[in-house]
Structure 1
Amino acid sequence: MSIINYILEQPHILQRVIREIPPQLASIPDLIGSENYFLIGSGTSFNALAAVEPLWAEMISPFVKTGHPLSFISSLKVPSLKSTALILSQTGASKTTIQAVEHAQRLKMRVITLTADPDSPIAQVSSEKIIIPVGPETVGPKTKGYTASILTLLLLILAQRKKYLDISQFLADLPPFLKECSNICKSLTSRLASVNFILIMGQRRHLATALEGSLKLTEMCGLPVAAFDTEEAFHGRFHGLNPQNYAFFITSTAEELELANTGMSVLSELGIPGGILNLCPTKTSFFDLPILWPNSATLPELDLISAIIPFQLSAYYLAKAKNIIPENMKYPGLSQKLQIKTR
């Protein structure tokens, strides 16, 4: 199936998550009470975990760290009975993520695994697990898997505080948003088709959006893309840019928008094109891309789902414009050559 079908399927998949995840969470004992929490994953899974870490710190415990499997394995050697590891692998086939599950079990941690495939290798070595109802996504660049993981993680966090999430309006807004966003991204493709580097910047939870956006553009288009915290990017990173590049800023608060507007003003004076994905509900900027976002008033973190969709669509349409098959990626079979998957 084409990636565009998976992208457009996301409203339906998120409806499934809302229906099917809460009953699974009801059978998972409370997470509150551990001394330390480790959120472990790689690639898109890591980005989803990093996106929800600020909310986890706010609602469950500030003693939480998002990391990659090999770093987790190499840095923790002492048994930790009062720690919890939440380990996410959408395909369930990442070699090092499976090793991280086994390592956490050896250290006597509580281990909860999230995966989209109940028959995957990681599901076979996990006792406590949550199955994300994504359905098949038989391509390398994950789109619906990312947003389904985000919503599943948000529901998991809220469940620890017995909070109910009503996203009926958000879900109702998604189909027209996808249609309008598709038109905007098609138009943006004509500008991006000539660039040779893209810089994506975000803060707090949207640093993870920047990371995931950069991954989608690189995977589907074979284009060099970098992601940084906006503040970090201000410290020297702009010196590497030129008019053949493009800069994206992602903002969700007035303070973030003010910083992004300053950066975009400077880049514009230097002849470097760009735009702001402004999710802030109270303030606008001259550099805002003309996107009407879904209503995320019930939970601000729902904008993690909205914010990634322009990057998914732009990556797809840009690949098509470059005569690249986005499902195959630039170097087909690279995961097998790098030996990062079990299948």
Structure 2
Amino acid sequence: MPIPAFIREQPQALDACLTAARAFAASPAIDGIALVGSGSSFNAITVARPRFVAARRGPVTLHEPEDFIAELADATTRPLVVVLSQSGASTTSIAAAQAALAAGLRTVAITASPQAALGGVGAELLHMPVGEEPVGPKTKGFLGSMAMLLAMAETLGAPASPLISGADLAPLIEAGRETAEALVPSLRQVDQIVVAGRRANYGVALEASLKITEMAGLPTCGLPTEELLHGRLHGLTDRSVAFLLAEGAAELAEARRVEQVMAARGCRIVVVDAAAGLPSPWTVLGLVVPFQWLAVRLAEDRGLVPQTMRHGALSAELAIKTDARP
């Protein structure tokens, strides 16, 4: 099944994931929260981190799996450990869950494939029911990950959020496609794409850059907004584009200032109102959709098949998955 079909399945996936997240039970007492994941899963935990902080259950830390394992012996807290792997087959995520369990920490594993290796390590299993997605560049798996994590954070004590459903997301799917398709002609000669945002939107920026790189094979990076402003703008040329995700009046004013400053130097900044669409904290679900479509349409415009990726499936050769998935 091609990636556009998976993008269009996201409203149904959202409903299923919000229902499934209710299976998570909050611990009566925890000493912080450690969020662990790699690739697209790391981007999802970056999105969700502010909501876990808002739960006020102690320090909230983000980890790539190997870093988590390396630092575990020096930890002075005993956090709830949440390991996210959409495929359930990421070797280092499996190892991180095993290490957390061996240290006696409450460990929750979230995966769309409970039959995969992560599901068998003995952690509390939270199934992310997005359905099959047998491609490397995940779309509905990422959206499902964000939804599950945001719901978990609320169970742990984050302030109550407005109720949403797939019906709220559905109108944004085709609107996102139209936005992306309108951008493609102006990006045919692009030499690099930068996406930047703050807090949860930084996680969306990371994911947007990952999807464009995976599908379209273009040099792309995701940055925190402050990192972009402190030197990274000097890497832009008149063929580059930087998307600045801005939420709220202060961030939008800042983004417009950046746009004006760089336009005077022949560089293109696209300001994206991150608060448009769904209510907070669910804005991120709609915000990522145009970038998913942009990755697909840029790939197609360059004569590439989005799901095959420029260098094909590298996971087996890189030994980063326990099976032959892309």
TM-score normalised to structure 1 length = 0.90
Equivalent pair of 1:80/1:108 in contact (CA under 8 Å): no
Match of 1:94 in 2: 90
Matched, 1:177 2:160: no
The root-mean-square deviation of aligned C-alpha atoms, in Å, is 1.7
What's the CA shift string for 1:316-340, capped at 9, x where partnerless?
A: 0010000111101011121111110
Matched, 1:225 2:238: no
Matched, 1:309 2:289: yes
Equivalent pair of 1:242/1:271 in contact (CA under 8 Å): yes
* Distance change (3 Å), C-alpha of 1:62 and 1:16: same
**Cα distance, 1:176 vs structure 2:** 2.1
**Cα distance, 1:75 vs structure 2:** 1.2
SS in 1 for 2:221: strand
SS in 2 for 1:113: strand
Query: Which residue identity does 1:8 align to in structure 2?
Result: R
Q: In 2, Cα distance between the equivalents of 1:250 and 1:261?
A: 11
Match of 2:7 in 1: 7
* Distance change (3 Å), C-alpha of 1:216 and 1:254: same
Match of 1:40 in 2: 36
Match of 1:31 in 2: 27
Q: In 2, Cα distance between the equivalents of 1:108 and 1:80?
A: 13
**Cα distance, 1:256 vs structure 2:** 1.4
Equivalent pair of 1:155/1:165 in contact (CA under 8 Å): no
**Cα distance, 1:183 vs structure 2:** 1.3
User: Out of 284, 295, 299, which is 2:278 matched to?
Assistant: 295
Q: In 2, Cα distance between the equivalents of 1:251 and 1:44?
A: 21
Q: In 2, Cα distance between the equivalents of 1:213 and 1:162?
A: 26
Structure 1 residues 144-153 or 263-272, which shifts more? 263-272
Q: In 2, Cα distance between the equivalents of 1:330 and 1:136?
A: 22
* Distance change (3 Å), C-alpha of 1:127 and 1:232: closer
SS in 2 for 1:301: coil
What's the CA shift string for 1:243-274, capped at 9, x where partnerless?
A: 11111000112121122111111111111123
Aligned length: 323
SS in 2 for 1:155: helix
**Cα distance, 1:81 vs structure 2:** 7.8
Q: In 2, Cα distance between the equivalents of 1:324 and 1:172?
A: 32
Q: In 2, Cα distance between the equivalents of 1:117 and 1:92?
A: 6
Query: Which residue identity does 1:127 align to in structure 2?
Result: A
Query: Which residue identity does 2:292 align to in structure 1?
Result: Q
Matched, 1:64 2:57: no
Matches within 5 A, 1:1-343: 1-22=1-22, 24-25=23-24, 28=25, 30-31=26-27, 33-77=29-73, 82-161=78-157, 166-168=162-164, 171-280=166-275, 293-296=276-279, 300-343=280-323
Equivalent pair of 2:55/2:158 in contact (CA under 8 Å): no
Query: Which residue identity does 1:219 align to in structure 2?
Result: E
What's the CA shift string for 1:161-220, capped at 9, x where partnerless?
A: 39765534x633322221122112111011112101011110111111111111000000
Query: Which residue identity does 1:188 align to in structure 2?
Result: L
**Cα distance, 1:32 vs structure 2:** 5.0
Q: In 2, Cα distance between the equivalents of 1:32 and 1:52?
A: 21
Match of 1:289 in 2: none
* Distance change (3 Å), C-alpha of 1:31 and 1:267: farther
Equivalent pair of 2:31/2:77 in contact (CA under 8 Å): no
Structure 1 residues 317-326 or 262-271, which shifts more? 262-271
Query: Which residue identity does 1:295 align to in structure 2?
Result: L
Query: Which residue identity does 2:206 align to in structure 1?
Result: L
TM-score normalised to structure 2 length = 0.94
Equivalent pair of 1:56/1:62 in contact (CA under 8 Å): no
* Distance change (3 Å), C-alpha of 1:325 and 1:41: same
Equivalent pair of 1:319/1:326 in contact (CA under 8 Å): yes
Q: In 1, Cα distance between the equivalents of 2:162 and 2:227?
A: 35
* Distance change (3 Å), C-alpha of 1:67 and 1:131: same
